[in-house]
Amino acid sequence: MKKKLSIIFICALSLGLAVCVTGCRDKSSSSAEESVVNPINLLISIDYPGRANKPDLENFKFKAEEESSVLEATELYCNISEIQLLVDTTNNEVQGINGINNGELKKNYVWKYKINGKEVSDNPQDYDLKDGDNITWYYTKK
């Protein structure tokens, strides 16, 4: 009798644990954009160098928090899209996107960005975005 009760208890516990784990699955990629309180609409493109053998991302729509910096919006998009983003936290500069790091494919080549087609020299943490802005990241000579 005790053995039967133990088996029933273990089965019930396993079922309860399975339901809990399934219900607690990581939803950060879908909920990250949903948690934006004062959203602005943005577009992002990533122009990979030819040698990277990766298709460019062109004009993907997403929402970010009002007054987000280029870096914050890029981090949000990369988090949602599961794209690796390497950032130097001492100076808030992008060091790599999706496994393509600065200087890796060509010496003295780095990731830079444009807003609405215009090159911007500001640190990506210092440039605040507006509704409708289009961010383009591209790999180019320093």
CB atoms near residue 81 (< 10 Å): 15
Phi-psi region of 111 (alpha: psi -120 to 50; beta: other; left: phi over 0): beta
What per-residue string of b and e applies to 49-70 under the rule 16 or more CB within 10 Å gives b? beebeeeebeeeebbbbeebbb
Q: Residue 31: which pLDDT band, with cuts at 50, 70 and 90?
A: low
Q: What is the pLDDT of residue 15?
A: 52
* Alpha-carbon separation of residue 28 from 47, 57, 92, 128 (angstroms): 26, 21, 23, 24
pLDDT at 18 over 70: no
Residue 90 has pLDDT above 50, yes or no: yes
Q: Check if the beta carbon of residue 136 is closer than 8 Å to that of residue 74.
A: no
The answer to whether residue 137 scores a pLDDT higher than 80 is yes
Q: Which domains does the chain have, with CATH numbers?
A: 29-141 (2.170.130.30)
Share of the chain above pLDDT 90, in %: 74
pTM: 0.76
pLDDT for residue 47: 98
Query: Strand 134-141 and strand 109-115: pairing?
Result: antiparallel
pLDDT tens, residue by residue, 99-129: 999 999 999 999 999 999 999 999 999 999 9
Enter the DSSP assignment of 128.
Answer: B
